[in-house]
Amino acid sequence: MFSIENQISGKTFPINKDETILDAAISHGINFPYGCQKGFCGQCKATILEGEVYYEDEVPNGITEQEVADGMALLCQCNVKSDVKLTVSEIDSVDDIELKTMPCRVEKISHLSGDVVKLLLKIPGSESLQYLAGQYIDLAHPDFEPRAFSIANAPVNSSTIELHIRVIEGGKFTNYISNDLEKKSLLKIEGPKGSFYFIEDSDKPAILVAGGTGFAPIKSIIEHMIETNSDREAFIYWGVRDEPDLYMSLPEEWSKEYDNIHFVPVLSEPNENWKGRTGFVHDSVLEDFEDLIDYEVYACGPPVMVEAVANTFIGKGMKKDNFYSDAFEFAFEQ
């Protein structure tokens, strides 16, 4: 095993001999820029200062012979024969990520509950979508207005996009997706979008509050934490109406497998057999924490829930700068 050091940021991470530099960076939560991940676009070029890199096959089309002679490499395609020191500007914010519009093919449609559909979209082989855990895309079809949906999978494998879509009564697009959309159909996506994303450089414990399908970006964040071996404490609170609306068992599985991940489901209209928490999801958080001053809070879901989280958590010491939301822009109560 070797190591990679980016001399611009000072970050160092290990790499196996069968990994490309970009794959190793992504797996360790390092946001190197990239585009297609296939060696065509050239967006992942970096300058190699020390060490030896090589390509399994021919030098990719995304880099010229002169650039290779000048010590540059395509990180999505090159492997290493030694420790490597390089220079590349890492992505520090969503402003650094390219906004793309591209077609995608429906790979799988499955019903997670009575009104939630999981949609898996496959990006064309020559393309890739770089995004941060928590961001969303706009999904478009020629017959409907575009709709925004949070990306539900971690950005490790960005050739597949997972969406959790709640079927809205009277909603033409969501009902079409649930009832008429077929596998291998073509849709168009635009993204990534949104300023809601996981703050990786922080070491603060995170409280993640989800309402309904607001669980989707929380899933992306937690899976990213797992993929990057993060040991930060994460407290997941998922609020839904009744038990069947907890449409995935993953949070319970995570809490059993990882000591740093905790899960509390909260039902607002529970059936008579429910033995767990009831009421509003934000109230359960307030019951469990005396002081929120040292926590980051991520809230995803209906605007009324997000606003309740924001304004009540302030009273428990939460700093405004430690609050992140995907719902909408709003002002804290004075």
Ordered per-residue pLDDT tens for the chain, 334 residues: 999 999 998 999 999 988 999 989 988 888 888 877 788 878 889 999 999 999 988 888 889 889 999 999 999 999 999 999 999 988 877 777 888 899 999 999 999 988 999 999 999 877 788 899 999 999 999 999 999 999 999 987 568 999 999 999 888 999 999 999 999 999 999 999 988 999 988 999 999 999 999 999 999 999 999 999 999 999 999 999 999 999 999 999 999 999 999 999 999 999 999 999 999 999 999 999 999 999 999 999 998 999 999 999 999 999 999 999 975 444 444 3
Q: Which uninterrupted H or E stretch holds 67? A: helix 65-69
Structure letter (DSSP) for residue 154: -
Domain boundary among 67, 90, 113: 90
CA distance 183 to 168: 21
Residues 219 and 156 in one domain: no
What angle do helix axes 215-227 and 250-257 make, rounded to 10 degrees?
A: 30
Assigned domain for 333 exists: no
Residue pointed to by tokens 């409907």:
144
Residues 43 and 118 in one domain: no
| 111: nearest Cα among 212, 260, 248, 314 | 248
* Token pair recorded at residue 156: 């490790």
Contacts of 275 (CB under 8 A, 6+ apart): none
Q: Residue 34 belongs to a domain with what CATH number?
A: 3.10.20.30
pTM of this structure: 0.82
Which string of b and e fits 242-255 if b means at least 16 CB within 10 Å?
A: eeebbbbebbeebb
Q: Which uninterrupted H or E stretch holds 195? A: none
Query: Which amino acid makes up residue 86?
Result: L
Q: Residue 182 belongs to a domain with what CATH number?
A: 2.40.30.10
Length of the chain: 334
Domain boundary among 90, 108, 129: 90
Assigned domain for 155 exists: yes
- CB 125: neighbour CB atoms within 10 A? 10
Please state the domain count of the chain. Answer: 3
Contacts of 5 (CB under 8 A, 6+ apart): 11, 12, 83, 84, 85, 86
- CB 326: neighbour CB atoms within 10 A? 23
CA distance 99 to 130: 9
* Token pair recorded at residue 186: 């073509």
Domain boundaries, position 102: 95-193
Task: Report residue 325 CA to chain centroid gap.
Answer: 14
Assigned domain for 32 exists: yes
Torsion, Cα of 48, 53, 55, 58 (10° steps): 60
